[in-house]
Each structure stands twice: as C-alpha cells, then as structure tokens.
A and B are shown apart, each in its own frame.
Chain A
Amino acid sequence: MKKLRLIARIDVKNEYAIKGIQLEGLRKVGDPNKLASKYYQSGIDEIIFMDAVAAYYDRNSLSDIIDRATKDIFVPITVGGGIRTIEDIRTALKAGADKVAINTQAIKRLEFVEEASKVFGSQCVVASITAKRVGDGTYLAYYDNGREETDRDVVGWAKTLQEGGAGEIMLTSIDMEGTRKGFDIDLVRMIKEAVSIPVIAGGGAGKNGHLSELVGQTGVDAVAVASMLHYDLASVGELKSHLGNRGFITR
C-alpha cells in the first residue's frame, strides 16, 4: 500500500541551515548535516536540501553537504536551488542526490524539465512550485526563491510541468511558509486534483494537527516540514505517531 511520506526540508545558506518566514528574514538554525543525521536517526522518510540563495547568485553550493550526507544517511535526498543545466544535475547526482528540485529554470525554459527527465528519468525531476495567493482563490507561481512574480496560474503550471516530464511536484505556499499557522489547504487540494504525479506539500506546519488536517483534506502524497523539526516543536516520531493514529500511515 501507498505510504504517506514525511520529509524534512533543510534550507541552506553559506553552509548553515537557515529558516525564514515567508521565505524572508533568514535565521541560522544549525549545521545542515547534523540536522539531517538527527532526522534520519529518528526515522524521517526523505531529506530535501535547498540552497536558499542559489537562484539569486546563479550557483548551487550544496555538493559538499550532500557528499557528507551520503555517508550516514540512507534515505532519498533531493537537492534544489540554482539547478540550471544538465551538467548541474549531473553534479548534484554525482555528489549523492537522488533528485533535483527545479523551479526558476523551469519558469525560464520549460524545455529544461523535458531534457532533464529524458536524460535522468522523471523520478529524478521534482518540479518545485512556490505559490502566492492573489485573491479570489487563484495563485500565481513565483521564482528566485519567492522573489520574482510570474503571471502563471499554478494549476495550469502544475499540469504543464507534469506533461513536461516532472516526476513529482513540490508545492510551497509563500503566504504560509515559516508562519507555523498551518498549510494552505485550498492550494494543495487544487494542485493535487490537477495532476496525477505525487505532490509534496510544504509551508506552514506549526503543530501536529496541521499535518493530519492537510492530509485528511487533500490526500497529499508527502508533507515537507522544516520549522517544526528545526525548532524542536515536534520530533519525527511524534509527527509519525500523530499521523498514524489518524489513519495516515507512514513507513
């Protein structure tokens, strides 16, 4: 049977794990490798490392962190931020990533998603969508880690990314991100209904109930959590047993 996946998202800037609120006001929260090891030891299903400033500076600096992580972490690792070329993906995979998350470059050139999935397989390509609510229930896709706006409605954009060969959608609500006020359930439901590839939802978890509410109302395939774990609001085990008690089975 299909299992819900619980994913730890670790944003990185200059070797430090950081966390912002609505992708801004970044604060250091620790050593990315130490955090990842701790989450692995306590049973996390996957790890996502995101270079928070890579899109801005045109580079991804996570290779060393991924390289270290592969020595003691044996769950899937996704790397994102600044992935622009086939060569960037090759470098990330060589360092030990299993998947890459692509946002900015997909917005600039959709063919990149197609090329990447042809060369490395769809399973390797996570299309990252950062969405902001613009009133009357619609959302637009943003890029450069939430700094730049587009005129693309996220529902159509998610379908386009799926057709382009993405293997998963990682959906982040800019409005809720880092606020600990709960997920944007409307947003997640819309995207989940629009595509047939797995959807990872992130942005806004602040208490255990937020996760079960999200999964119960949207049937989302995976939940990405950052603040709750970084700030010790809950452990991986507590989140999993909370979800399991409500019938949402993780591994």
Chain B
Amino acid sequence: MTVSVGVVDYGIGNVKSIIGALDKVGAQVILTDNPEQLLQSDAMILPGVGAFGHAMQQLKERNLDQVIREFTDSKRQFLGICVGMQLLFTTGEEFGEHAGLGIIPGTVSKISLKSESTAPLPHISWNELYAGDNQNWAGSILEGLGSGENVYFVHSYVGTPDCSQDILAVTEYDGLHLCAAVQHENITGCQFHPEKSGETGLKIIDNFIKKSR
C-alpha cells in the first residue's frame, strides 16, 4: 500500500528535500495547506526552519494549528522536523515567549553553553544520536540505526520535554546533552534534519513511512 503523506505547507523554509526524500522511499506526497487534504492523508509531516514565533504565527494564520491537533488526536503517524518538532512543545523562548501547539509538554529554549565555552552557536554539525534514558528504538523511526550514527543538526534552540520518557534520542554538544528526538505515542519529532542526513536520514524517513502503513 502506498502511504500518502501530507506535508504541511505554511511558507516556512525548504520543503524540496523532504519531498525528494519521501519520493525516494516510495511515499505519495501531498504538499498543501488545505485542511481537508491534510486530514485525509495517512501520515503528516510538519517541516520548518527559522524562528519559533514566526512559524507558529504562520500556522495559526492558516488555521493549521487546529488541523495538526485534530490529526494527532486521530492517532495517525505525525513527524515534526526541526522547528516543526519544536512547535509541538508548550512554549518557545525565541525572540520573546510564544505559545506552541502544546501537544508535548515541554519548553524550547536557547542552548545554554557553559560560560567558558568557545563552541560556536548555532550548533551546525553532523552529530551522533544516542538513545534517551530507558529508551529502545525498536518500533520507532530510529529502528535499525546504530548507536552513534550521524545526522545533521542546525539550531540554536532546543526543545526539552517535561517528561524524560518522551526523549527518544539525545546528542552531545560541548558537554551538553540535547534532546535530538521526541516520541509521544503516535507523535514523533526530530531536531535534526533526516532529509539532510544522507543515507541514515533516508532510512529514518523510510521507517516513518513503514510505521504509517
């Protein structure tokens, strides 16, 4: 069965690569801001780059925040990428405090490097994925990945769920453990860009599609 994936089109960032990656793994892509089409798809992806508040505002202007809540309530598979993951949380602190979708309890705040740190921000790097506490990747979008596989990150802000059980994967940057992926029931989010993470990233997208069947 071909899986149809609604990719939320809300004028934020590059969606070409995610479409290319979905094509590559044999999914049917529907890039749209049309609520009906989005709600009819088998799975949904919320991409996004840029500032939290601006992205949230773009969603709201199109009433897509409601569409996303309705979709995630239906227990179908949902994936948020980068800012699309951050928006899942309750609050974002980029350029002032903004309410997020509030689907996963948690906060998005600036990566707080140690005062003596000379590590650059944004965190723009390939970096290694490790399982969160008590997490097992079986059945998740990271199934089959080795511990320490590299994916591509580009962010200055990081989302931290209130409940550590929601942390699917972490990465380490300058001694800090950053939440790299969250999973809460049918809802998954990744801070890194699977569509920019080479063959490892394609495998993650493929896992997401398999979960959506």
| Residues in A lying within 8 Å of B, measured CB to CB | 1-3, 5, 40, 43, 45, 66-67, 70-72, 74-77, 93-98, 118-124, 167-168, 196-199, 221, 250-251
A123 and B124 form a contact (CB under 8 A): yes
B120–A70 touching, CB < 8 Å: no
B61 smallest CB distance to A (angstroms): 15
Contact, CB under 8 Å: A75 / B196 = yes
Q: Does B50 contact A (CB under 8 A)?
A: yes
Main secondary structure of the interface of B (DSSP, over half): mixed
29 A-B pairs in the complex with CB atoms less than 8 angstroms apart: A2-B123, A2-B125, A3-B125, A43-B198, A45-B126, A70-B16, A70-B19, A70-B20, A71-B20, A74-B195, A74-B198, A74-B199, A76-B154, A94-B14, A96-B17, A96-B20, A97-B14, A98-B17, A120-B13, A121-B49, A121-B51, A124-B13, A124-B50, A197-B122, A198-B125, A199-B120, A221-B120, A221-B124, A250-B126
Q: Is there contact, CB below 8 Å, between A251 and B202?
A: no
Pairwise interchain contact A3-B150, C-beta atoms closer than 8 A: yes
B124 touches A167 (CB 8 A): yes
Q: Are A2 and B122 in contact (CB under 8 A)?
A: no
Residues in A neighbouring B121, C-beta threshold 8 A? 196-197
Question: Is B1 an interface position by the 8 A CB rule?
Answer: no
A239 to B119, CA, bound (A): 24
What residues on A are CB-neighbors of B120 within 8 Å?
Answer: 196-199, 221
Do the beta carbons of B173 and A1 come within 8 Å of each other? yes
A1 with B49: CB separation less than 8 A: no
Which residues of the partner chain A approach B136 to less than 8 Å between Cβ atoms?
none
* Chain B interface bracket (under 10, 10 to 19, 20 to 34, 35 or more): 35 or more
CB < 8 Å neighbour of B173 from A2, A67, A96, A121: A2
A74-B127 contact, Cβ under 8 Å, with A119-B50, A120-B50, A121-B49: no
Which of A74, A120, A199 is within 8 Å of B20, CB to CB? A74
Contact A123:B16 (CB < 8 A) given known A1-B173, A74-B196: no
Number of A-B contacts (CB under 8 A): 113
Q: Complex formed: what's the CA distance from A70 to B31 in Å?
A: 16
Give the residue of A1, A45, A70 whose beta carbon is less than 8 angstroms from that of B17: A70
| Residue pair A3, B195 in contact (C-beta under 8 Å) | no
How far apart are B180's CB and chain A's nearest CB, in angstroms?
Answer: 13
Q: A70-B16, A96-B20, A123-B154 are in contact. Are A2 and B49 (CB under 8 A)?
A: no
Contacts of B49 in A (CB 8 A): 98, 120-121, 123-124
Report the nearest B residue to A195, measured CB to CB. B120
Contact of B51 among A1, A66, A118 (CB under 8 A): A118
The reply to whether B21 and A121 form a contact with Cβ atoms under 8 Å apart is: no
**B41-52, CB under 8 A of A: which get 1 and which 0?**
000000001110
Could you say which of B19, B122, B156, B196 contacts A76, with CB atoms under 8 Å apart? B196
Tell me if A94 and B16 are in contact (CB < 8 A): yes
CA distance A98 to B122 in the complex (A): 15
* B202-A74 in contact (CB<8A): yes
| Bound: A1/B125 CA distance, A | 9
